[in-house]
Structure 1
Amino acid sequence: MRKLDKTRRRWFALRSHNEERRRHRIPKPSDWGPIKRPSTVRRIAYRVQIWEGGEVEWAISATAGRKPPSPLCFDENPNDTYRFFAGLREGFQRAIGTNAGFVHRPQAALPRISTYYDFGQLSDISTAASIVLAAEYQRISTLIGVVPPTVNLNKWNPQVYAKLTQLGFFEILGIEKKVRPVVSDSGKTRTMRIVRAQNLDALEDIDQALTQLGLFLDPTDNLSENVFVQFLTGLSEAITNVIHHAYADGMEIPDKHINSLWVTATADRLDNSLTVVVYDQGATIPVTYPKVERLEKVRGYLERAIRRRVEQAFHRPSSSHPFEDDPIYIRAAMRYGGSRTDQRHRGLGLPQMFEALTRIGEGNLSIFSRGGWCKRTHNGRFTSGALSSSIGGTLVEWSVRLPQQGRTP
């Protein structure tokens, strides 16, 4: 055995010192590389089931599923629902920008996904939230040709799955090939599946479907002869304005869009109610409304409302945020209407829809646009507010409960 002389002892001491330093060193990202990682970093993989329209497959997710708020509803849970859709839209926009897919399929290994939304934790979803969710998925499907896979469908709430199926959500994703009729029957409820419209050709199909729902609630046709025609006229006007103006050149639209709007509706005989929802991803009311020359009474209303809001914010400066004026413009649109051309025979869609409510006597008209919301009941009462996130477009929900007379069991 070789004798340890002074030089060799010094060499062993120096090596021991360097090894101790390396053990306590914080590794830099450049040291990790694509495969090699420090032994102190523990990676956890999650085994999930994915469905893309064919057979259900096992896959590996790099992260645990993100849980959406429950219920997913703009009325019952507005702040969390707005934030959820803002995050979903941001993630989808990144995927659109990189044109990347969602499932990686290595050879001789399980498919891989980076993350997913755990809809198995969702107890309830409203019709309004469903149409926004469908629109986001259809946008990414149209722009890059793929959508995120459906994950752990076996753990979904049966009511959530049934509702999305009835609305045609999985057809929009392209993973269910069966094309359902526009209006589907489910006992005491009839539902108009989500219809995507890019031009005025779709209006005829929408009108026919809504007329079927009206007759389902009122077979005597009294509804159609009186207020329903007025409502359809107002809705058609509102849809026409969206088709012509929501995606017009020069409008500020932060996200890539597919120049579309989506419509769905539900008729329920249990409470004799009808709900119609329209959503678009174009320029919102708070963006377009201030840019158009208005009648004197409209300008006066806007000036007074904004001045009052500024005076209130002066006493509560901590409450201000980017969308604080949004409810003012939504209120004005509901009260006075008005298209971008400001022609007197145009832009009356929202007031006409509200007028139909007043004639029926029970219901409300709700609008969510960018970061603001406003609800007007049949008696004319307004409630409104602003949130810290954007809905990514404009959502109109018209809900009415019909009188019992003329109804058949």
Structure 2
Amino acid sequence: MQAPHSPPSNLCLDTNRLQTLQFVEALRRQTSEGFVKRGKVAEEFGGLPVITGYTDFAVPRYISTAAAVILTAEFERLGAIQPEIPPTVNLHLWNDDVFRKLYQLGFFEIVGFTPKRPDVVIDEGETRTMRIVSAKNADDLARIDQSLQNLGAFLNPSQKIPDEIIIDLLTGLSEAMSNVTAHAYPEDFHPPYQHIKGLWVAATADRSNNSLTIVIYDQGATIPFTYPRLSRLDKVVRYLGRTLHSKREFDFQDDGTYIRAAMRYGGSRTDLRHRGKGLPQMVDVIERSGSGTMTVYSRGGWCRRDSRGRFRSGAVSSSLGGTLIEWSVELS
């Protein structure tokens, strides 16, 4: 009954950040105001079931792992707040690479289109992928820990990499995920859209370059929301005083600055739960384990730390609706 809502052809936070976030924001708004208001996907019109509109996933020609994780979380959120699974539309027209990526990562299982398989990790030649795990409790986090150990063993079959490096990496990642789980959804955070208090994680190990890539996403309180509320060290206050805009051109313009400060300096002076944890710990995992990058997207901001220890940050006018952290580590 309406023209379809079209995603960008390139769904990627790295190479097409603004358009990807605009699409995510519009999708979240549409599903919240449309499906949920009616309480059902299809309505009767002239004796036939019809839908008022749909999102045309035949348009994208590429989707990154990070974008696939966000999309999975958004549709799982939709499934939790309305009774019907939205139908797939023109599935035969979807791009083969996009469909394959979503299928391999487990998108269709988490959303509810296909039965869930017991295997979380799948092999493809020189790569091994941990499909998206939707973590809601300690058992789910244990599955992720076990799967990451599986990827670590896959990268180190002949013990060329010292065991302590693998153990250090996996321990650091496990602690970081536990920290995110514990503090992503504070009581004083009231999101504009109903969300799921969970964590979505995917990972890929590649033997050809001894690399491990991990994506973690939550729909909770973002760094730009929580960081200004912390009691911070004097050096952090001075840094923010130099870098925050006196007059913002759009609401999220300072978001990248807050993320950058959180990655460089960590949490508060008084709140013990942040001591020795958080984003600096995640950066430290990369520095101890090998070369790599770490990128954090939160609300409208982003910040990347490269293999030389340099930081770049920025912001766009659309919100991610949560926080996403992407590591890419090359083990030496």
TM-score (norm 1): 0.76
Residue number in structure 2 paired with 1:13: none
| SS of the residue 2:58 aligns to | helix
Corresponding residue to 2:184 among 238, 241, 246: 246
Q: Is the 8 A contact 1:286 1:369 kept in 2?
A: yes
**Structure 1: gaps spanning 5 or more residues:** 1-61, 314-318, 404-409
Aligned equivalents of 2:33, 2:270: Cα separation in 1: 35
| SS of the residue 1:201 aligns to | helix
- State the Cα distance separating 1:339 from its structure 2 match: 6.7
Q: Is the 8 A contact 1:191 1:265 kept in 2?
A: yes
Q: Is the 8 A contact 1:364 1:376 kept in 2?
A: yes
The answer to whether structure 1 residue 217 and structure 2 residue 146 are counterparts is: no
Aligned equivalents of 1:340, 1:200: Cα separation in 2: 29
Alignment RMSD (CA, Å): 2.2
Residue number in structure 1 paired with 2:6: 67
**Structure 2: gaps spanning 5 or more residues:** none
Residue number in structure 2 paired with 1:144: 82
| SS of the residue 2:167 aligns to | helix
Residue number in structure 2 paired with 1:57: none
The answer to whether structure 1 residue 84 and structure 2 residue 13 are counterparts is: no
Aligned equivalents of 1:327, 1:207: Cα separation in 2: 30
The answer to whether structure 1 residue 401 and structure 2 residue 330 are counterparts is: yes
Residue number in structure 2 paired with 1:337: 266
Aligned equivalents of 2:64, 2:230: Cα separation in 1: 34
- AA in 2 matched with 1:64: A
- Go from structure 1 to structure 2 and tell me whether the alpha carbon gap of 1:95 and 1:176 turns closer, same or farther (over 3 Å shift): same
| SS of the residue 2:43 aligns to | coil
The answer to whether structure 1 residue 230 and structure 2 residue 159 are counterparts is: no
Residue number in structure 2 paired with 1:365: 294
Q: Deviations over 1:62-114 (max 9, x none)?
A: 123222112100001111101000100111111465152222356853x3111
Residue number in structure 2 paired with 1:17: none
- State the Cα distance separating 1:360 from its structure 2 match: 4.0
Residue number in structure 2 paired with 1:177: 115
Residue number in structure 2 paired with 1:101: 40
- State the Cα distance separating 1:270 from its structure 2 match: 3.8
Aligned equivalents of 1:105, 1:174: Cα separation in 2: 23
Q: Is the 8 A contact 1:234 1:348 kept in 2?
A: no
Residue number in structure 2 paired with 1:208: 146
1:297-376 aligned at under 5 Å gives the runs 297-306=235-244, 309-310=245-246, 320-338=249-267, 342-343=271-272, 346=275, 348-376=277-305
- Go from structure 1 to structure 2 and tell me whether the alpha carbon gap of 1:215 and 1:136 turns closer, same or farther (over 3 Å shift): same
The answer to whether structure 1 residue 134 and structure 2 residue 72 are counterparts is: yes
Aligned equivalents of 2:253, 2:47: Cα separation in 1: 54
Residue number in structure 2 paired with 1:406: none
| SS of the residue 1:263 aligns to | strand
Q: Deviations over 1:30-75 (max 9, x none)?
A: xxxxxxxxxxxxxxxxxxxxxxxxxxxxxxxx12322211210000
Q: Which structure has the larger Rg?
A: 1
1:149-164 aligned at under 5 Å gives the runs 149-164=87-102
- AA in 1 matched with 2:292: G
Q: Deviations over 1:244-303 (max 9, x none)?
A: 222111124222112111111111234432210000001100001111212333333323
Aligned equivalents of 2:283, 2:265: Cα separation in 1: 11
| SS of the residue 2:10 aligns to | coil
- State the Cα distance separating 1:142 from its structure 2 match: 1.1
Instruction: Name the stretch that deviates more: 70-79 or 261-270.
Output: 261-270
Q: Deviations over 1:178-210 (max 9, x none)?
A: 425110112222111111112333222111111
Aligned equivalents of 2:318, 2:274: Cα separation in 1: 34
Aligned equivalents of 2:219, 2:239: Cα separation in 1: 27
Aligned equivalents of 1:93, 1:168: Cα separation in 2: 23
- Go from structure 1 to structure 2 and tell me whether the alpha carbon gap of 1:107 and 1:392 turns closer, same or farther (over 3 Å shift): same
- Go from structure 1 to structure 2 and tell me whether the alpha carbon gap of 1:90 and 1:223 turns closer, same or farther (over 3 Å shift): farther
- AA in 1 matched with 2:10: P
Corresponding residue to 1:263 among 201, 207, 210: 201
Residue number in structure 1 paired with 2:212: 274
TM-score (norm 2): 0.92
Residue number in structure 2 paired with 1:41: none
Q: Deviations over 1:295-345 (max 9, x none)?
A: 333333323332xx33xx6xxxxx721111111110111112227962177
Aligned equivalents of 1:151, 1:86: Cα separation in 2: 21
**Identity %, equivalent residues:** 51
Residue number in structure 1 paired with 2:59: 121
Aligned equivalents of 1:94, 1:344: Cα separation in 2: 37
Q: Is the 8 A contact 2:35 2:41 kept in 1?
A: no
- AA in 1 matched with 2:149: T
Aligned equivalents of 1:323, 1:136: Cα separation in 2: 21
Residue number in structure 2 paired with 1:29: none
- State the Cα distance separating 1:116 from its structure 2 match: 1.2
The higher relative CO (CA closer than 8 Å, separation ≥ 6) is in: 2
Q: Is the 8 A contact 2:110 2:116 kept in 1?
A: no
Q: Is the 8 A contact 1:330 1:367 kept in 2?
A: yes
